[in-house]
Structure 1
Amino acid sequence: MKKTVVAGFAALMMGFGALTFAVPGNAAGQPTHVTGQILVKFRDNAAAAGVLHQHGLSGGPGVGSTGARLIKVPAGKELQLIAALSRNRAVEYAEADQLATVATDNSNVDYVPRQYALQNTGQGFWNTRETTFVAAGKPDADVDAVEAWGGGETIGAGITVAVLDTGVASDNPDIAVKVDARKNFSTAATGEDKYGHGTHVAGIIAATKDAVGVTGVCPGCRILDGKVLNDSGSGSTSSIANGIAWAVSQKARVINMSLGQRVSSRTLEAAVNDAWRAGAVIVAAAGNGGTQSKIYPGAYPNVIAVAATDNKDAKASFSTYGKWVDVAAPGVSVYSTFPNGDFQLATQNGRAHGYDIASGTSMASPVVAGVAGLVRGKYASADNVSVRGIIESTADPIAGTGTYWLHGRVNAYKAVGGTSSGV
């Protein structure tokens, strides 16, 4: 595997903590939903205008392919109007437009693995105090991506992966050249990644395979950049649902969502189900609460929910877990791309420009999305049901399988037909 360029190396050696995952509504008094708007789906669209008028409301735009509408309401009246509209027979459902956030963790680490998730011979790591590389023994905690690539014939060439996140930086050449289309569904003024999270996620999936920078799990994959989270790393059910519909319209073969909301949404689930019916493999972070509480969209049946493991193949301390979680993947101190320009995580969490580490199920999810891209590239005729089955059935049954997650830690080499043990 090519050498990783250590941009901002001095900053890395200082052992900055990783990123932050804030579960909406987790703090006292913190709202769980977007103020000033709700989601409504009518059984009888002809009656919609009259029903809304009864409550002093007017119509709103549709939300993706779900049939729901985004309705503006007086701030603070969201729950009251949801209850009132739900009693009307012409309304199929009314619900809050839930807040969603990125799924990264704020744990501190004292080493910087160099893409151990792709290939390692015993999870060596950087000693941040003495700035030396420490070789360590087994277990073999990677996903055997390098073995999966073979001689370059299995790199997911041409497979399109939608990254629904905070955007993908246009100023990092290791990932910007892989983006085929961009669209901003967030409240941010532009589609540029001013937060940093989406660029890191996209790099894990598809960073270019060349002599500089980092390499993605699926280096032949192409990226669709759907910005559904704003420049502070938060968004809404409606923005995510719109992003999913756009990804489907752009023929995404895989959709990655390294984000979550703790309250389920019928609108979001409908968007997920529409994408599944359209043939997309859908992957999402399981969350970083360290509990078994479900996070959405990860917990929906048509989504592969991903927990995080560390460089010893153990469950990350922060990772959400449980039998509702499908697989695990490396998610601790994962090295990838960041914007070269200013971005919030650089100041909030000490991230370096260009390249740096981050931890969370946000980082584990794109590893699995990358594996899905490799599988779709290898088995061109396989549908999404088959691709998901391959990923889950070839996962390595590490400790915690059956309790922390239903299947094991993903193995890219086995998923594309490899039979011998990787390193």
Structure 2
Amino acid sequence: MDYYGFWQILLDEISAAPKNDERRIVTFYDARHYAGALSQWKTLRTKKTRLRQVQVSPLIRAFFVPAASAAKLVHKFSDTLSVEDDYRIQLHALPSEKTGTAVMPWGVKAIHAPQAWSKSTGVQVKVGVIDTGADYRHPDLRHSLATGVNLLRRGMLPLDDNGHGTHIAGTLAAAGGTRGMMGVAPRAILYPVKAFDHNGSAYVSDIVLGIDWCVQNRIDIINMSFGMKTRSKALHNVVMKAYRAGIAIVASSGNDGKRGGDYPARYPETIAVGAIDKKRRVASFSNRGSYIDVYGPGESVPSCWLKEGYKEMSGTSMATSHVTGAAALLLALRPGLTPRELKLLLRRTACPVRLRKGQRRASLGGGAADALRLLRAGIRAKRGPSANAASRRAD
């Protein structure tokens, strides 16, 4: 392969690309060709400054480039690589609602997390939160946040300039005690991965880099409260890599109020989450369907906010953080669980949701998450069939 020619074509396209507009994901089929192109890029970027805009994902053998077109590249190297648009992806939260207060959130109680804390608080489970960052000054999050990574400004803390990521972090692992807020897994360790800007927007390539970082840093579970309508080969590829590395990905289904949903929740390797309201019905805004693995509280959820505050928000984003928190409680007890085993346990221990008029249960997918039932089932499974039988006889 002509690696110099490859980068020369891309350099021409980078030069022609409008600023902050067109972007492409270039993925190599063969590891050797990727290594050759990577080596040539490292050599050329010292002289060709525009090539410094290129980002790299070793996990899926891809380059992310601001390029006006890719027609020449595909024509010349069609047997070697694939090219796809680097789509925009959005957070799954509805417009911000009223300011909240430091309380025990209804959703944390609804999934019976406080009753589960005698068995597990999620201690030392590493949760990657790919979002807008987090408010490191918030008193309820002070003991829950690790350094994480800022993909938009490398070398800087992943500080939240939107609020969404802080809200997710609060539901996951706030540890404010009696004076503040408590999240589902208050002793889990959160690793904010800032991929979204202050408008709550990111590129697929940012998500790929975020998952790549989580795999390299041996994160246990990833919360992804966002989605898009379009399939992306690169995103699916990196999700599968994480799945095979033993990292569960919990993803929100979207807020269109329709059957069907967004990617990455629709990929079979993720745990797809819908939202329920305070009456344990599928929320009117929540996407639904047989692909939904489990539902979590998502209506008017109070959680942490910027400037050490609190706010109520609705969305499948909020539901997802409840489910990720419940999963973290279980992973603290069963660190060897595979993503598939975790999904099956979440589905098996979910409680039936209440039906709205005209709904059929089969059309909704899974039931409502229950942290206490999840832990009990996880503990029984760990003991094995003989121990379970003895326990039943003792009961």
TM (norm. structure 1) is 0.74
* Aligned length in residues: 342
How far off is 1:258 after superposition?
Answer: 0.7
Counterpart of 1:349? none
Equivalent position SS for 1:416? helix
For 1:158-169, list aligned pairs within 5 A: 158-169=124-135
Equivalent position SS for 2:177? coil
The answer to whether the aligner puts 1:100 opposite 2:89 as a matched pair is yes
How far off is 1:35 after superposition?
Answer: 2.1
Equivalent position SS for 1:118? helix
Counterpart of 1:262? 229
Q: 2:78 aligns with which of 59, 64, 89?
A: 89
Counterpart of 1:363? 318
CA contact (8 A) 1:104 1:288 kept: yes
The share of aligned pairs that are identical, in percent, is 29
Q: 1:170 aligns with which of 130, 136, 148?
A: 136
Question: Structure 1, unaligned stretches of length 5 or more?
Answer: 1-33, 120-141, 341-352
User: Aligned letter for 2:293?
Assistant: D
How far off is 1:84 after superposition?
Answer: 6.0
Return closer, same or farther for 1:220/1:404 CA change in 2, 3 Å cut-off: farther
Equivalent position SS for 2:22? strand
CA contact (8 A) 1:328 1:405 kept: no
How far off is 1:102 after superposition?
Answer: 1.0
Counterpart of 1:411? 370
Distance in 2, matches of 1:86 and 1:266, equals 19
Report which of the two has the higher share of helix: 2
The list of structure 1 runs, each at least 4 consecutive aligned residues, that deviate by more than 6 angstroms after superposition, is: 107-113, 187-190
Q: 1:145 aligns with which of 113, 117, 120?
A: 113
User: Aligned letter for 1:160?
Assistant: K
CA contact (8 A) 1:164 1:243 kept: yes
CA contact (8 A) 1:168 1:225 kept: yes
Return closer, same or farther for 1:46/1:409 CA change in 2, 3 Å cut-off: closer
Q: 1:391 aligns with which of 346, 361, 370?
A: 346
Q: 1:337 aligns with which of 286, 304, 310?
A: 304
Question: Structure 2, unaligned stretches of length 5 or more?
Answer: 1-19, 45-49, 381-395
Q: 1:242 aligns with which of 186, 189, 209?
A: 209
RMSD across aligned positions (CA): 3.0
RCO higher in structure (CA 8 A, sep ≥6): 1
The answer to whether the aligner puts 1:115 opposite 2:105 as a matched pair is yes
Q: Which moved more, 1:239-248 or 1:81-90?
A: 81-90
Counterpart of 2:332? 377
Counterpart of 1:70? 64
Distance in 2, matches of 1:72 and 1:105, equals 30
Q: Which moved more, 1:207-216 or 1:358-367?
A: 207-216
Counterpart of 2:165? 198
* Greater Rg over alpha carbons, structure: 2
Distance in 1, matches of 2:140 and 2:99, equals 26
User: Aligned letter for 2:256?
Assistant: G
Q: 2:55 aligns with which of 50, 58, 61?
A: 61
Equivalent position SS for 2:56? coil
Equivalent position SS for 1:36? coil
Distance in 1, matches of 2:336 and 2:91, equals 33
Counterpart of 1:35? 21
